[in-house]
């Protein structure tokens, strides 16, 4: 399920970056947008001890936050001018502890509908230079147009 | 699907509170554990502008973080002495913008298995004194015993 | 998360029943629509040995089929005249073996949006006159209007 | 997230095929097991008008049944001798109508734990010789050992 997508908005990149810039949460947590292409987005979150659960690894909520964000902008890249992306729902399997130096989430669109865009997001941990699978998400996003 | 549960650990409450205390993320975000009973847990997160998405509401990742946490301790309350709770997976529907003064997540166990404990979590927003539905989660947790 | 809903279609019931009648799968499997109210639907499937998995219980796919169907018509009951209901996605936890005489699915709308209707479905097994929890679903449905 | 897996049971294939043979549902619906390898399984279901929803396409429940089955045996192939596979939960996005001649589900293990095996399943429709994406599932399975 990989495809090449044609963006519907010539300014898709500027629109995505402007929206990302308005997300206060990303500055607070230290989330970096490291790549965005039509139908694809990568985000990274360097490890911080103050974002951990009881065992000292990234909290599952941080994994979900990064994955939801990467999937959201993968979807947003294919939406028309003026559109805002909203997450309808997501499901995430946490396969291994989020242990390491940098968390990486890569979101890919698997279905670009007019109203709904479906994504899949793979999350990995960069740990001592080695990247290891961490979590897997399926996400449904909604294309909200200005009223 | 509501049930009364008998805890298997006489010290379930102390174990849950000690684990919650070790979650650095909760201090960082301002998450409060406001109730824990056998098979039930409530957590609250007062609004903070630095935890928001592009429209100024709580980011979906914050909704998931609070819900996952409340479901996790609802499950943990029914686990045996020494057990640690891990989230296997969760799915969340974001039904309304997380807009308001305080986010509240209430997790309830719907199936207490020996290895897996299944929960359901309702998330609402307290907005000007009125509580409104915000999100709904189903979660699978794993009872990890010390090796 | 329980609500009273006002149907938007005065003929919601006739529309739901006519749609159900067109589902060949329901006749094939023996699915009965036993109740439909605004925002609610109950369906039943009497046990049949030819619908079982390797241990002689209803296959998980049959549990999902009944639950998806009940959730779908709970949602459809709140849609406008002419609307057709489509499942966008669902997630189901299979909590106990689907063992017994009759499987019952009860779908309830938890959020009735204009485009998307979110439901929750509880599945139980009637076994020797006693009803036992079996599965729990969260479902997102789409309101498709004729073009 | 693709990997090569070493089966833990030298007789993994015979065990999977024997279990599949005991699934009455597969004979009833016409499900064929067309491939099984360590960590992978493909199943097919030729179109039948008596398995359709209100628009004449395969019912979503049939899509879920095929996908759950393919994911289950992908997982079972990696389980130890004597193990039985049970679905804990799954989530499926129905991306396009299940319209065509043959439905194909390909399940792949993404994480092979000792107790839990996580799979991803892609469902497509073969329609006039062309294969088109239809649905995407994430599934959690449980390795049940004889008592």
| Cα separation values, C80 from A109, C10, C121, Å | 30, 9, 22
Residue (of A39, C141, D53) closest to B95 by Cα position: C141
Q: Which residues of B touch A23 (CB under 8 A)?
A: 52-54, 59
Residues in C touching A138 (Cβ below 8 Å): 89
Q: Which of B39, B21, B33, B26 is nearest to B79 (CA)?
A: B39
Tell me how far apart the alpha carbons of residues A104 and A107 are, in angstroms, rounded to a whole number. Answer: 10
What are residue A142's phi and psi, to 5 degrees? -120, 135
Question: Any idea what the CATH number is for the domain that residue B91 is in?
Answer: 3.10.129.10
Judged by DSSP in three states, C77 sits in: coil
Confidence band for B4, pLDDT divided at 50, 70 and 90 = confident
- Mean pLDDT, residues A61-66 taken together: 98
> How would DSSP label each residue in B81-102?
TT-EEEEEEEEEEE-S---SSE
* Average per-residue pLDDT for chain B: 96
Residue A103 lies in a domain: yes
Confidence of residue D34 (pLDDT cuts 50, 70, 90): very high
Return the pLDDT at A147.
Answer: 78
B60-76 vs B12-21: helix crossing angle, rounded to 10 = 150
Confirm whether A5 is domain-assigned: no
CB D74 within 8 A of CB D40: yes
C140 touches chain B (CB under 8 A): yes
- Non-local (6+) Cβ contacts of C18 within 8 A are none
Q: What is the pLDDT of residues D98-142, one digit of tens each?
A: 999 999 999 999 999 999 999 999 999 999 999 999 999 999 999
Chain C, 11-50: which have a CB under 8 Å from a chain D CB? 19-20, 22-25, 27-28, 49-50
Contacts of D90 in chain C (CB under 8 A): 60, 64, 91-92
Q: For residues C97 and D145, what is the distance between their CA atoms, to the nearest angstrom?
A: 15
Strands B84-94 and B130-144, by their bridges, are antiparallel
**SS3 helix, strand, coil % of chain C, rounded to 5?**
25, 45, 30
Question: C147 and chain D: CB distance < 8 Å anywhere?
Answer: no
pTM to 2 decimal places: 0.97
Rounded to an integer, the average pLDDT of D74-95 is 97
Residue A3 has pLDDT above 80, yes or no: no
pLDDT at residue C111, rounded to an integer: 97
Q: How confident is the model at residue D4 (pLDDT cuts 50, 70, 90)?
A: confident
Q: Can you tell me the mean pLDDT for A28-54? A: 98
CB A142 within 8 A of CB A88: yes
| C97/B contact by beta carbon, under 8 A | no
CA dist., res. C67 & res. C50, Å (int)? 19
Domain-embedded: residue D89: yes
Is A142 part of the contact surface with chain C (CB cutoff 8 Å)?
A: yes
User: What three-state secondary structure class fits A86?
Assistant: strand
User: Which residues face A131 on adjacent strands?
Assistant: A126
C89 touches chain A (CB under 8 A): yes
Q: Where are the beta strands (DSSP E) in C38-83?
A: 40-46
Question: What pLDDT is stored for residue D1 in this prediction?
Answer: 63
A138 interfaces chain D, CB cutoff of 8 Å: yes
CB contact under 8 A, A88 and B94: yes
> In this prediction, what percent of chain A has a pLDDT beyond 70?
98
Q: Residue A1: what pLDDT?
A: 62
Residue D118: phi and psi, rounded to 5, are -100, 135
| Chains in contact with chain B (at least 3 beta-carbon pairs closer than 8 A) | A, C, D
Asked if residue C6 is part of any domain, the answer here is no
Give helix B60-76 / helix A60-76 axis angle, nearest 10°: 150
pLDDT in tens, C94-142: 999 999 999 999 999 999 999 999 999 999 999 999 999 999 999 999 9
The sign of the torsion formed by the CA atoms of B99, A115, A44, A106 equals positive
**Mean predicted confidence (pLDDT) in B85-107:** 98
Cβ contacts of C116 on chain A, cutoff 8 Å: 88, 142
Q: Is residue B5 part of a domain?
A: no
Please report the DSSP string for A49-85 in residue order. GGGB-TTSSBPHHHHHHHHHHHHHHHHHTTSPTT-EE
Instruction: Name the band, by pLDDT with cuts 50, 70 and 90, for residue C4.
Output: confident
Test A138 with C88 for CB contact under 8 angstroms: no
How large is the ipTM? 0.97
Q: Which domain holds residue D22?
A: 12-144
- Confidence band of B147 (pLDDT split at 50, 70, 90): confident
**Would you say residue C2 has pLDDT above 70?**
no
Cβ of C111 within 8 Å of Cβ of B133? The answer is yes
Q: Is the pLDDT of residue A4 over 90?
A: no
3-state secondary structure of B107: strand
Report the number of distinct structural domains present in chain B.
1
CA–CA separation, B131 vs D98, rounded Å? 40
**Per the domain annotation, does C132 fall within a domain?**
yes
In this structure, of B1-15, C52-66, D20-34, D93-107, the range with the lowest mean pLDDT score is: B1-15
Q: Is the pLDDT of residue A91 over 90?
A: yes
């Amino acid at each position: 399920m990989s495809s090449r997508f044609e963006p519907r908005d010539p300014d898709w990149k500027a629109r995505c970056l402007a929206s990302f810039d308005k997300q206060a949460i990303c500055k607070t947590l230290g989330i970096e947008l490291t790549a965005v292409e039509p139908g694809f987005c990568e985000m990274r979150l360097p490890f911080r001890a103050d974002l951990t659960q009881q065992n000292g690894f990234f909290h599952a909520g941080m994994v979900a936050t990064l994955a939801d964000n990467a999937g959201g902008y993968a979807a947003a890249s294919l939406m028309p001018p003026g559109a805002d992306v909203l997450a309808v729902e997501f499901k995430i399997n946490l396969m291994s502890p989020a242990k390491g130096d940098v968390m990486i989430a890569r979101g890919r669109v698997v279905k670009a509908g007019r109203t709904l865009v479906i994504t899949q997001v793979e999350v990995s941990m960069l740990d001592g230079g080695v990247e290891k699978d961490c979590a897997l998400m399926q996400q449904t996003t909604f294309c909200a147009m200005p009223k």
